[in-house]
Amino acid sequence: MKGIRTMKINFLSDAAKILIFAATIIVVCVLVAIGFKTANEGKSIVSSGTSQLNEMSSEYQDVNKSIYNGSTILGSELVSMISKTMEKKEYLAIIVKTKSNATSGVHYNYTFNYPSATTNSSTLTEQSTKNNLVQNDKGNANYINPSAQFLGTVYKDNNNNVICIEFVQQD
């Protein structure tokens, strides 16, 4: 019987086959659970990043208006700013208080409603008749002297958007 080869046959019991199958299913379930967890964490990270990007974008959008808070500008720059704001039809009120009209001031583009003790929010209302004429008559109380300096104060709404810039004549 030299020419006959003997074959080794690996007989696994049915119990061992079931255990291997069960272990494979458990490993697959664990891998799927880790995949879903990672995907959900990725979604929350992306969502957080998106909200931060939107917040930064809104801050950057108003940076050209926020720079006037506490800044002093010349009347000539103020007149130019009023004209540009009205041409672009921006949602922005500009209040100018000269020495002659220091109590009420003039509201350009929109009328600004200051926050009060009862309502903590600031709002704008559209003017029924637009005050879009910057006075050139030096005798007028609303005249903006091009060489006068005006101190700016910025007002924001509940969403942190700049809705009003108030300028008070300093000299």
- 77/116: higher pLDDT: 77
Q: Which range marks the domain in which residue 109 is found?
A: 68-169
Instruction: For residue 5, tell me if it sits in a domain.
Output: no
Task: Kindly tell me if the per-residue pLDDT of 154 is higher than 60.
Answer: yes
Q: Above 60 in pLDDT, residue 117?
A: no
Residue 162 located in a structural domain = yes
Average pLDDT of the chain, as a whole number: 79
101 and 43 in a single domain? The answer is no
Confidence (pLDDT) at 27: 93
Q: Identify whether residues 55 and 76 lie together within a single domain.
A: no
Q: Looking at the predicted structure, is the pLDDT value of residue 128 above 80?
A: no
What's the pLDDT tens digit per position in 4-41? 666 566 666 778 888 889 999 999 999 999 998 988 88
Report residue 142 as tokens. 């609303």
- Tell me: do 89 and 147 sit in the same domain: yes
Query: Are residues 57 and 94 both part of a single domain?
Result: no
pLDDT at 122 over 70: no
138: confidence class by pLDDT, cuts 50, 70, 90: confident
Q: How confident is the model at residue 167 (pLDDT cuts 50, 70, 90)?
A: very high
Instruction: Clarify whether residues 47 and 120 are in a common domain.
Output: no
Rg for the chain, CA atoms, rounded: 35
Work out the number of other CB atoms within 10 angstroms of the CB of residue 90: 15
Which of 160 and 136 is assigned the larger pLDDT?
160
pLDDT in tens, 139-153: 776 788 888 899 999
One domain for residues 126 and 45: no
Cβ-based burial of 108 (10 A; exposed 0-12, middle 13-18, buried ≥19): buried
106 contacts 125 by C-beta, under 8 angstroms: no
Residue 4 lies in a domain: no
Read off the pLDDT of residues 40-61 as tens digits, 9 standing for 90 and up.
Answer: 888 888 888 888 877 776 666 6
pLDDT score for 30: 93
